Chain A
Amino acid sequence: MLRDVSDETLVKRALAGSDRAWTALVRRYDRRVYNYAFRMSGNAEDARDLAQEVFLGVFRNLGGFRGDGVFAAWLFRIAAFRCTDYLRRRRPMGEFDETSAPPTDDPGPQEVAAMSRTNRRILAALEALPAAQRHVVELKFFQQFTFEDIGMQLGISPNTAKTRLYGALKKLKHHEELQGEL
C-alpha cells in the first residue's frame, strides 16, 4: 500500500511518471495545506484557491526536491511563498507588511456554521496579527517547524523568525486581554 510509503519514495515514483504516487502524495497533505491556507487567509474561498495554487506549485517544482530534507518542510516553503504572493495580490499594493491592517474577511456563511467555536476564536485572534507575524505563528504553533525551517520557508533568518514570533505573542496577549480569557 502507498499509505506506508515515505514521502520521499512517493516523490521519486511521481517523478518517474506515476500518477498514483503523485495523487497519494497530494492526498497526504491536502487537508493540512487547506487548513493552513484557511488560517492564513481567513476565508474558505481564498483557502481553496490557495491550496490549489500550492499543489500546482509543488507539481511544477517537484523535480527540484532533492530529498536531502524533510518533504513537509520543503512543501511548506512553496506554500509560504504562494501564500505571501497570493495575499499580496489580493490586497492593494503596500498593504501587506508588518504594519498592515489585518484582513477582515467573512469566512463564508456555510463555513462559519460548520466551524467550531474554538476555530472561530483562533481565526479571530490570528486576524488581529499582521500577515508576516501570522505566518510565523502558523508555521511554529500549527505546523511545528523549527525556526531554521521557518527561516528557510519565509526567506528570513531564524533570528528574525524568533523576533516575529515574540512580536506576535505580544499582540496575541493584547488581543487575549481585550477578548477576556481565550
Chain B
Amino acid sequence: MNCDEAGPLLAELADGTLDAAVARRVQAHIEGCDDCFSLAGTLGVWQRQAEAWEDMPAPMILLPHMPSRRRGWRLPPWPTDLRWWQLLPTAASLGALALALVAFVRAGSPDSEALPAMAATPLPANAQVLHASFDEWQQDFQHRLEVDQSLIVQAVMVANEDRRQRELDALARLLKAEMDRQALETDQSLRYVVAHQLKEQERVDQLAVQVQQIGWEPPPGLLSSPEGTTPEGASP
C-alpha cells in the first residue's frame, strides 16, 4: 500500500469504519511512513478543532409560511434566488390590490347609490355560499397580506442593520469630534478672558498709581456712583 492509497482511508481508520484487514494494512503503512503518520496527526487535530469551534448565534431567518392544505389552495412555489428587495414590487401591487378591494367594497355597499338596480335583483339560491367563500377568501387574503408585510418589514430591517450601525458609528464619531471642539474652544475662551482681565487689572492699577503720583482728586461721586453711572456721564 502506498501513500495515495492509504491517505484517503485515514479518516475511516480514525472513525473505525474500515474493514479489519484493510485497517491493518493502512496502519502498517502509517507506521512506516512519516508523511502519512504526520497527516494522521493533522486529521486528529482537525477532529478536535471542529469540536472546539464556538458556535455563533444564528441571525434572524425570514420564513415563508407553509401553505395551508385545509383551505384547499396553495401558495405558488417560492421563487428562486429571492432577495428582499424583490419583495417590494409585490408589496406595492398587494397594497394597490388592497386599496382597490377597499374601494370596490365601499362602492358596492348598500348605502351607495351607484348601482340601485342590484338591490332589487333577487339573490340566486347559491349566493349565500358564494358570499361565504368570498368572505373566507378575503380573510385569508388579509392574513397573507399581513404576513407578507411583516416579512418585508423584517427583511428591510435586517438588510439595513449594517447600514444603521455604520450611521450610528459615524454619528458617534461626529458627536465626539464636536464635543472635543467645543471643549477646546471653551478652554481657549476661558484662558483668553482670564488673560485679558489680568491685563486690564494691571492697567487699572498702573493708572491708580499715576493718579496718586500727580495728586489728582476725583470729583465727588465719580468713584462711588450709586446708580452705576457711565464714565462718560460722570467725567468732568
Which residues in A have some Cβ–Cβ distance to B below 8 Å?
Answer: 14-19, 21-23, 26, 30-35, 38-39, 45, 47-48, 51-53, 55-56, 59-60, 110-111, 114-116, 118-119, 121-122, 125, 137, 140-142, 144, 146-147, 159, 162-163, 165-166, 169-170, 172-173, 176, 182
Contacts and interface: CB of A to CB of B under 8 A. Distances in A.
A173 B42 contact: yes
B66 A116 contact: no
Contacts of A32: 55
Given A16-B69, A147-B11, A166-B8, 14 more contacts: A15-B66, A17-B70, A18-B66, A19-B66, A30-B61, A56-B78, A59-B64, A114-B56, A116-B54, A119-B56, A122-B49, A122-B52, A173-B42, A182-B49
Q: How many of chain B's residues touch chain A, expressed as a range?
A: 35 or more
Interface in B57-102: 57-59, 61-70, 77-78, 80-82
B99 to A, nearest CB: 27
A140 B42 contact: no
Contacts of A146: 17
27 contacts: A17-B66, A17-B70, A21-B66, A22-B65, A26-B61, A30-B58, A30-B61, A31-B57, A34-B56, A35-B55, A38-B56, A48-B59, A59-B63, A59-B64, A59-B78, A111-B56, A114-B56, A119-B53, A125-B49, A141-B50, A162-B8, A162-B12, A165-B11, A169-B42, A170-B7, A173-B38, A182-B45
B187 interface: no
Nearest to A118: B52
B46 A137 contact: yes
Given A118-B49, A142-B53, A51 B58 contact: yes
Interface string B27-62: 000000000001100110111011011111111011
Contacts, number: 116
A166 to B, nearest CB: 4
Nearest to A30: B58
A156 to B, nearest CB: 13
A162 to B, nearest CB: 4
B9 A162 contact: yes
Contacts of A55: 61, 63
Given A26-B63, A59-B63, A59-B78, A34 B68 contact: no
Contacts of A159: 8
B47 A141 contact: yes
Interface of B: 4, 7-12, 17, 38-39, 42-43, 45-47, 49-50, 52-59, 61-70, 77-78, 80-82, 158, 162, 165
Nearest to A62: B66
Contacts of B68: 17
A19 B65 contact: yes
A17 B69 contact: yes
A176 B11 CA distance: 18
A35 B52 CA distance: 13
Contacts of B11: 140, 147, 162, 165
Contacts of A48: 59, 158
A45 B162 contact: yes
A169 B43 contact: yes
Contacts of A59: 63-64, 78
A141 B46 contact: yes
Contacts of A140: 11
B45 to A, nearest CB: 6
A169 B39 contact: yes
B53 A122 contact: yes
Contacts of B53: 35, 39, 118-119, 122, 142
A170 B82 CA distance: 38
Contacts of A125: 49
The 9 closest A-B pairs by CB, nearest first: A162-B8, A30-B58, A141-B50, A166-B7, A17-B68, A31-B58, A34-B58, A173-B42, A166-B8
